[in-house]
Amino acid sequence: MNWRLEIAVQTPAHSALGDVLSYTHPSPVAPGALVRVPLGRREVLGVVWSAQPAGADDGAAALELKPVGAVLDALPPLGAAWRDLVAFAARYYQRSLGEIALAALPPQLRDLSAVQLARRLKRQAAPAAAAASACVPALTPEQAQALARYETESGPFLLFGSTGSGKTEVYLQAVAALLEREPQAQALVMVPEINLTPQLEARFKDRFGSGAVVSLHSGMTNPQRLASWLAAHGATARIVLGTRMAVFASMPALKLIVVDEEHDPSYKQQEGARYSARDLAVWRGRREGAKVMLGSATPSLESWHQSRPAQGEDGGGRYARLAMPSRIGTAALPMVRLVDMGLQPPRTVLSAALLDAIGQRVARGEQSMVFLNRRGYAPVLACGDCDWKSECPHCSAFRVFHKIDRTLRCHHCGFTERVPRACPACGNPDIAPVGRGTERLEEHLGELFAGVRRPDGSPVRIARIDADSTRRQGALESQLAAVHAGEIDVLVGTQMIAKGHDFRRITLVAAANPDAALFSSDFRAPERLFGLLMQSAGRAGRDAAYLSAQGATAEMWVQTHHPRHPLFAALRRHDYPAFAQRELQERAAAGMPPFAFQALLRADARTQEAAQAFLNAASAAAEGLEGAQHVTRYSAVPHAIQRVANVERAQLLVESASRRALQRLLAAWQPLLHGLRKAPEGKGVIRWLVDVDPQSI
């Protein structure tokens, strides 16, 4: 008897091929098993979703089904909980089942034959028992209270701890208690960015031993990712550390999920299936009976609202809020100083008072950090005679001037050219940079501090950490090591240096130019800015003993043209609850998340007119769909950067006070969108996608 297998293969949602494809096999295959199947002219990896005997009622259709090429039976099948997670993500984020399932597997697994995989599995190490080391620091009363509530309540939990309050130690001890209670259990710990994994990995390996811990992120080589995934899937690894992709790791004994810096936008995937790893972590914890702990000094407003205490008729949120407002030891949060740039001389980059404060710290052997969230030398190169600017010929954006290699580089499409010797439009040789990036700020500081000396008489050492300076493998690790060793006096960088790093000798942090986000069209911009400034401030004064020995106080300097803005008033007090209360009141009044639910229908086309015509036709087609009366559809508009790599981009926002109504509409909309793509309204459209719970609009 032949068996009919429904198999998930990697097909994008807009291909309209459906969630699973049917194949035949002479024997039953367990759901979750990996197989190799023919698809077109290729043989691809697939995941068996269901199997049933090929009955007589299948008729001639069964005869046309292609047979499975091979079953990778050396690998235990992916569990029902993992398949449920993938199915939920595909359904909620409006993607195909196979697209989510196959993207969640390590790339190298797609190329291995059954024999190669079996050989690889034989090399896997035996499960390692995790044993906590003796060097466990004593808990503060706040840490102990948070852990006590975590142990006795079900969660999910929001660990709201100020920077330097010891959230990582809470994670470590929660994992240690779990593994002591259940030695075979597994824990997943997620961080938002790759550059935060090395120091976290070192702490976990010191505590639990290297054999019990593996990492999982896109910065690893394919063989490394496969080895880590197999260790997690086979329960060899007790602890998996990773970025957003790790939320899909196959962990059959998962009992705890930690999402550190849960507010970070990096947890939202911005290409392909646009899922939120933080939200999927909460769903996965509920499905698998695993406890979930979200941690942040500046939680997302969605999580903060979900952790609100019950008041009156409001029954409160679904999360339990664990508060740790104090820093460990006697370290105080840095004093925030606002510099009114409106009172400074024109074209001032760094105020005289700030430069003096940095100079004093250099003279005492302390470290300072200057934060500017714009890389490159200058955002624009311009001609003063004819108004030529370094526009990208392929994007509606300017190419950034990078002085270090004398290039103009588009940060959207990657188009790069050498800097012209004269203006391409009028021949004027005096083309000049406009604005400042981290590269120019680094140069400027070098000029200003050329005569300043360190305590040993040597010159000031300035370093820059951004996406350009850390391109080479190992560059970031070596630069961070130099900062930790005290070899750097002034560190300049983008948001890469603002998050999570435990710099012990930094006593001053400065934000050079944060005003742009105050008046952005994106309603989430103030939330992101406040979080970034609070996180930046948290890099200063983390070591109370060092501050005391230096006789110094930690400071955060903010240069702004709007010193009376309410955001800065809350920042000066380190008062996240006050900031969140004001923002939530404004969002409630405007009917914005978390009091409403949103999705974007995006279209890429050869012309802006074609993209908007497709979106407006899609909006009209949705009129009679189930739930449409409860969903507001706005007009199609261009993206903020409407052209990238010669592709025009437009978007249409849909919004509802009911998540259920929005999901019903999106599900019913899918077949209409597939049809429109092939209709005259879809002419010129290259691709379309649905972005559920978008992080930027």
Q: Which residue has the tokens 């604005």?
A: 435
DSSP 591-629: T-TTSSEEEEEEEEESSHHHHHHHHHHHHHHTTTSTTGG
Query: What span, in angstroms and rounded, lies between the C-alpha atoms of 382 and 400?
Result: 11
Alpha helices in 449-575 (DSSP H): 475-484, 525-537, 544-550, 566-572
Name the amino acid, one letter, at 354: L
Query: What span, in angstroms and rounded, lies between the C-alpha atoms of 603 and 607?
Result: 11
Name the amino acid, one letter, at 136: V
CA dihedral in degrees (453, 457, 459, 465; nearest 10)?
Answer: -90
Q: Report how far apart, in Å, the C-alpha atoms of 489 and of each of 370, 446, 454, 458, 657 are.
A: 11, 11, 8, 11, 51
Q: Max Cα separation, the chain?
A: 90
User: Token pair of 126, please?
Assistant: 């035996």
Where do the DSSP E strands lie in 171-253?
A: 186-190, 213-216, 239-242
User: Token pair of 685, please?
Assistant: 């459209």
Q: Across-strand partners of 320? A: 157
- State CA 185 to chain mean position distance: 27
Dihedral class, residue 94 (left if φ above 0, else alpha if ψ from -120 to 50, else beta): left
335-340 and 555-560 beta bridge pairing: parallel
Answer yes or no: is 383 a known binding residue.
yes
What is the H or E stretch that residue 537 is in? helix 525-537
685-692 and 647-656 beta bridge pairing: unpaired
Name the amino acid, one letter, at 59: G
Long-range contacts of 58-62 (CB under 8 A, 24+ apart): 58/4, 62/2, 62/4, 62/24
Closest CA to 617 of 652, 655, 584: 652
Show the CA angle centred on residue 354, arms to residues 504 and 456, nearest 5°: 55
User: Token pair of 671, please?
Assistant: 């077949």
User: Token pair of 587, please?
Assistant: 């969002």
What is the H or E stretch that residue 384 is in? none
Residue 18, number of CB atoms within 10 A of its CB: 12
User: Token pair of 222, please?
Assistant: 């394919």
Answer yes or no: is 135 a known binding residue.
no
Query: What span, in angstroms and rounded, lies between the C-alpha atoms of 253 and 250?
Result: 9
Name the amino acid, one letter, at 438: T
Q: Are 542 and 504 in contact (CB under 8 A)?
A: yes
Name the amino acid, one letter, at 14: H
Query: What span, in angstroms and rounded, lies between the C-alpha atoms of 480 and 469?
Result: 12
Known binding site: residues?
A: 383, 386, 392, 395, 410, 413, 423, 426
Q: Which residues are annotated as a binding site for Zn(2+)?
A: 383, 386, 392, 395, 410, 413, 423, 426
